[in-house]
Amino acid sequence: MYSEVKKMNKEFIVDRSSSVTLNVTAGKIDSYRKKEETTATVRVYRDGKIGVAGMLGEPDEAALTEKAEAALALGIPYPAALNGPAEMTLRNDAPILSERELIPTMQAFLDRVSAACPRFAVSNKIMLTSDSRSYRNSEGRALEWSDRVLSVGLLFQDRGAGNLMDGFYEFTGRHFDPDAMVEGCRTFHEAFYTPATLEEGEGIPVVFSYYGLFETFLRNFGGELYASGASLVSGKLGERCFSENLTLAVDRNPATAFDCCFFDAEGQVAKDYRVPLIEDGVLRNLLVTKRTAELFGLPSAGTAGAAYDGVPSSAIPSLYIRPTARNLAELVPGKSIQIIFSSGGDTTPDGRFATPVQCAFLMEDGKPVGRLPELVVSGSFFDLLGKDWLGASPADPAEGFGYCAVRMKVARG
């Protein structure tokens, strides 16, 4: 049992998940799936080595501990110290909709979306999820978290085009506001079927989702890449490399990160539940585990994730960018481009970024007014996050979701 191995440096983690998924085809709910899953993990440490054991189903801590101790023989190096005593509990699991209400409520919502968007075939999934995690270690740390969220992910197909996807609408949050969501779908539909044009050129304001812009950039914040010298920011820790108006963080704050545990896989709790990678333009932290932080002399920031039966690795559960504007109208007054989806882009080793854009809207004062032809947008890493950075704003009603804007070169695709 746990008391019998107290002298062993040890972590014990239990994850529980319950979800209801509604499958949507042609605007109708055609299937219902309920899933429950429990996983457990024991990690033990001795002489700079780690042993890991995991299981599905109700946990048997004693058996897992025995297996984890046996795994020490594999000799996996992991120099790391456990965090000390602390007890914290955060719960955000208030009811959103009951299972009995879910199907009729969501079908009524889908009927409204179909009526508001008559030229779209609507499909994909709606999920109601409840998750929890408990963590304790042999140093007296005990952490508990639970959350409940509604996720609506709708794919739109132009009925006359034959494409697999022509657009989408996403929402994740702890409340359900059908009026605002239907209006968001209606706005998308109207803009999609309104042709628009914009002159090519440089310095044009372009609006992305957080991940839309940063997805290809985030690898440069990896601790191992940084230490190898291959990152664009290698050697710049503690320096102001970016715009003073840019603060970018790994987010575990329940106010802005949904279905996201407030502590990382190694039991670390960041100040305000956010780990700033960039703070007021200064490179503050990197994506590390305790092991990579120790090996390379980097700050141990609390950015670890782990499979239930695996060794920790760095992870980004959610991103946060400190808002510089209250809404898109403030962020990008006048004309701008909103990227709806793009693929095929990449960043060169010297930081030049370009991507084809398959769907983009022309915006005027933060409102989409028409669909642009296919585009190519480009810029450079340090310029986009420096002199060309315009800022960020939250999205409404999508809790925890936001937009960022930069100036870019825009050309026809």
Domain residue extents for the chain: 2-191, 197-413
Mean pLDDT of 118-131: 98
Burial of residue 13, with CB atoms counted within 10 A of its CB: 0-12 exposed, 13-18 middle, 19 or more buried: buried
CA atoms within 13 A on the CB side of 173: 16
Summarised one tens digit per residue, pLDDT across range 311-329 is 999 999 999 999 999 999 9
Q: What are phi and psi of 177, to 5 degrees?
A: -120, 85
Summarised one tens digit per residue, pLDDT across range 187-206 is 999 999 999 998 899 999 99
Burial of residue 235, with CB atoms counted within 10 A of its CB: 0-12 exposed, 13-18 middle, 19 or more buried: exposed
In this predicted structure, what is the pLDDT of residue 160?
A: 82
Mean pLDDT of 28-57: 98
In this predicted structure, what is the pLDDT of residue 7?
A: 59
Question: Which homologous superfamily does the CATH classification assign to the domain defined by 2-191?
Answer: PmbA/TldD superfamily (3.30.2290.10)
Question: Which residue in 224, 223, 212, 239 sits closest to 392, CA to CA?
Answer: 212
Cα angle 342, 343, 348; round to 5: 110
% of residues, the chain, pLDDT over 70: 97
Q: What is the pTM of this model?
A: 0.94
Q: Is the pLDDT of residue 393 over 90?
A: yes
Q: Is the pLDDT of residue 3 over 70?
A: no
> Hey, how many other C-beta atoms are within 10 angstroms of the C-beta on 306?
20
Q: Is the pLDDT of residue 149 over 60?
A: yes
Peptide bond between residue 317 and the one before it cis (omega within 30 degrees of 0): no
For residue 165, give the 3-state DSSP assignment.
Answer: coil
In this predicted structure, what is the pLDDT of residue 162?
A: 79
Question: Among the residues of 200-359, which ranges form H helices?
Answer: 210-214, 223-228, 290-296, 328-331
Cα separation of 216 and 342, whole Å? Answer: 12
Q: What is the DSSP letter of 171?
A: E
Q: Is the pLDDT of residue 12 over 60?
A: yes
Q: Is the pLDDT of residue 172 over 70?
A: yes
Whole-Å CA distances, 360 to 85, 110, 198, 207, 242: 50, 24, 11, 10, 27
Q: Is the pLDDT of residue 275 over 50?
A: yes
Q: Is the pLDDT of residue 14 over 60?
A: yes
In this predicted structure, what is the pLDDT of residue 5?
A: 42
Average pLDDT, the chain: 95
Q: Is the pLDDT of residue 398 over 70?
A: no
Q: Is the pLDDT of residue 413 over 90?
A: no
